[in-house]
């Protein structure tokens, strides 16, 4: 929604201001300038990024459009899942806990938290480190370092779309100049025409410069930043899981370890202690 509102304000102010000072929208209607700039930008994006990133860019755009960041309810479900798993680790035999870890899709514990089950990578992350806890030979500081390295790798993969779009944004002003130069070349071919015709051709050429700069700083760049923000907020789920599991490995009780995880949530989305006790721990019985 923020993207839509922002685009309406941006286009409204730019085009409205242009019209208010006497400009005519028809002059900006230069479809071939858009073809040159847009086509080149998309082609460069394909050249610079593997197909997996190209495919992920559509998903990332929809995430940004919907502002698909973790809600307080999702954080509560994550804390509830972690609390139940830690209670199982503390009170149940190893083989009983392994049934949940090895087959989360069939686990009653995991299936009680559908928002988390929808995050397959996060579920895999939690299960992998619960296995290390079950083994019992891993040192907490070594596991923490391993977690940080894995989260860094996940972050790098999730932000490839951002870097790709940012590269496109950086190149758009230059592509606008390319389109403008081609327009000037066309205008020079009509150098013997009347000033009115020649002026129209030069004006059309300059539209390319405007379009390249505008798309870079007012469209593609902000969308890339929005995608980065949304995906970084989703990565916070991994930090919550990390802090909770490491606190448990360091000897904290499940309810205390949960507080370590809760503190890793930003203030805007952090559930209160009462929420955690009533909804996360309360669900666990």
DSSP state of 193: S
Check pLDDT > 80 for residue 172: yes
> Which residue in 136, 135, 133 sits closest to 86, CA to CA?
133
**What is the rounded average pLDDT for all residues in the chain?**
90
For residue 180, give both structure tokens.
Answer: 């403008």
130 Cβ contact list (under 8 Å, min separation 6): 85, 89, 97, 101, 245
Query: For the chain, what percent of residues have pLDDT higher than 90?
Result: 65
Dihedral class, residue 251 (left if φ above 0, else alpha if ψ from -120 to 50, else beta)? left
Q: Kindly report, residue by residue over 264-277, the tens digit of the pLDDT.
A: 999 888 998 888 88
Q: What is the model's pLDDT at position 284?
A: 52
> Which residue in 274, 213, 270, 285 sits closest to 78, CA to CA?
270
275 Cβ contact list (under 8 Å, min separation 6): 72, 76
SS3 of 67, please?
coil
Model pTM? 0.87
Q: Where are the alpha helices (H) located in the chain, listed in sequence order?
A: 2-20, 25-28, 31-48, 51-66, 72-91, 94-102, 108-111, 114-117, 120-135, 140-158, 160-188, 195-214, 221-249, 254-262, 273-275, 282-284
Check pLDDT > 90 for residue 239: yes
Confidence band (pLDDT; 50, 70, 90) for 226? very high
> Would you say 237 and 134 are in contact if contact means Cβ atoms under 8 Å apart?
no
Q: Kindly report, residue by residue over 71-117, the tens digit of the pLDDT.
A: 999 999 999 999 999 999 888 888 888 889 989 999 999 999 999 99
> Would you say 54 and 45 are in contact if contact means Cβ atoms under 8 Å apart?
yes
224 Cβ contact list (under 8 Å, min separation 6): 161, 162, 165, 166, 168, 169
DSSP state of 21: T
Domain borders along the chain are 30-285
Q: What is the model's pLDDT at position 282?
A: 67
């Amino acid at each position: 929604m923020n993207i839509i509102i922002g685009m309406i304000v941006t286009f409204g102010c730019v085009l409205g201001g242009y019209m208010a000072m006497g400009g005519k929208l028809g002059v900006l209607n230069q479809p071939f300038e858009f073809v040159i700039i847009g086509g080149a930008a998309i082609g460069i994006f394909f050249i610079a990024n593997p197909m997996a990133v190209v495919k992920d860019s559509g998903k990332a755009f929809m995430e940004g459009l919907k502002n698909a960041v973790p809600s307080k309810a999702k954080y509560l479900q994550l804390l509830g899942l972690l609390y139940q798993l830690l209670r199982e680790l503390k009170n149940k035999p190893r083989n009983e806990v392994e049934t949940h870890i090895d087959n989360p899709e069939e686990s009653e514990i995991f299936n009680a938290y559908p928002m988390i089950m929808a995050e397959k990578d996060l579920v895999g992350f939690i299960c992998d480190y619960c296995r290390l806890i079950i083994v019992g030979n891993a040192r907490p500081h070594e596991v923490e370092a391993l977690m940080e390295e894995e989260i860094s790798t996940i972050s790098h993969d999730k932000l490839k779309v951002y870097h790709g779009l940012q590269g496109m944004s950086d190149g758009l002003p230059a592509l606008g100049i390319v389109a403008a130069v081609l327009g000037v070349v066309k205008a020079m071919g009509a150098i013997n025409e009347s000033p009115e015709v020649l002026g129209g051709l030069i004006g059309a050429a300059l539209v390319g410069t405007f379009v390249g700069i505008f798309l870079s700083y007012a469209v593609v760049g902000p969308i890339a930043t929005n995608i980065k923000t949304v995906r970084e907020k989703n990565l916070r789920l991994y930090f919550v899981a990390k802090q909770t599991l490491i606190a448990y490995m360091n000897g904290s009780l499940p309810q205390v370890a949960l507080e370590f995880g809760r503190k890793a949530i930003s203030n805007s989305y952090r559930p209160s202690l009462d929420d955690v006790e009533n909804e996360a721990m309360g669900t666990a019985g």
